[in-house]
Copies of this chain bind each other. A is one copy, B any other.
């Protein structure tokens, strides 16, 4: 099955939008950006054996490859619009590509993202996606925008994806709810949009809360103090892992793709209101303070640190 058939197969299934002047099938796509907004661009690649186990279902790989990219747009408060897909495959397998597109296009459809181009090449399984969105000038949730005194918030629950990976690694039967968090992460697009103009700094939790909030602190020239007991945990995580391992997964586990963001205390009610309006739970977990680094305190007010270093991706 040569490259051109593959591209036709993708083109036939890809939806379009009215701002796509020319989509898949030429040397490049022609797109009409809206006036008065900034273009927001992110790229992320997933490699077999590094970012997902080799036996992952093609539909899950397709979903996740787009999800991790949309999560970057969410973390900028951007509205998604277009994406390109670069797919390296050991061999052109129709069933594999159809399954992959099932997952990829299901998520694209949820967010009205048009697949406008890309390429297919022969090589070890690797999926590289570039996403494009828009945000109003001055409203993006930049990493360098946290200020001393800001509250630190996180969406959803933490540690679920890392817990599923831990179960998979140990050979234990994996909990379905946890596994879904690992295989089908949900980018927090609606929350990101709702936080535009309300929150200050933002990042998505891909490498683990401590690592990712650490990026925000470094970029903002500040520190963060977190309350360990405030970190949100799903019921599935609480059933499957006892403290202290649960705490470690929540603080240092990656791949959750929740949003961690900061906002001044005087907009606390606004944060809760806009999050409720889009149906995404958010939890206060700490505060931005002077200094550097991220410090976590337990219920006794003692410094706490996860038993080992930051989260490592699968592989």
Taking Cβ atoms with an 8 Å cutoff, the residues of A that contact B are 21-22, 25-33, 35, 38-51, 71-73, 75-76, 78, 82, 84-86, 88, 116-119, 121-124, 126, 128, 130-133, 135, 137, 140, 142-144, 202-204, 219, 315
CA–CA, A32 and B33, complex, Å: 10
30 A-B pairs whose Cβ atoms sit less than 8 Å apart in the complex: A22-B140, A25-B143, A26-B143, A26-B219, A27-B42, A27-B143, A27-B203, A28-B76, A29-B40, A30-B38, A31-B39, A31-B40, A41-B82, A41-B130, A41-B132, A42-B117, A43-B84, A43-B130, A45-B121, A45-B123, A46-B121, A47-B88, A47-B121, A49-B123, A50-B121, A51-B121, A122-B315, A123-B124, A124-B126, A128-B128
Most B CB contacts (10 A, CB to CB) among A27, A47, A51, A131 go to A27
Known: A41-B82, A47-B121, A88-B47. A30 touches B135 (CB 8 A): yes
CA–CA, A78 and B28, complex, Å: 10
How many monomers of this protein are in the complex?
2
When distances are taken between beta carbons in the complex, the residues of chain B under 8 Å from A203 are: 27
Whether the pair A122, B75 counts as a contact (CB closer than 8 A) is: no
When distances are taken between beta carbons in the complex, the residues of chain B under 8 Å from A84 are: 41-43, 130
Whether the pair A142, B76 counts as a contact (CB closer than 8 A) is: no
Output the least CB separation between A204 and chain B (Å): 6
Known: A27-B42, A28-B41, A75-B27. A123 touches B21 (CB 8 A): no
Output the least CB separation between A310 and chain B (Å): 9
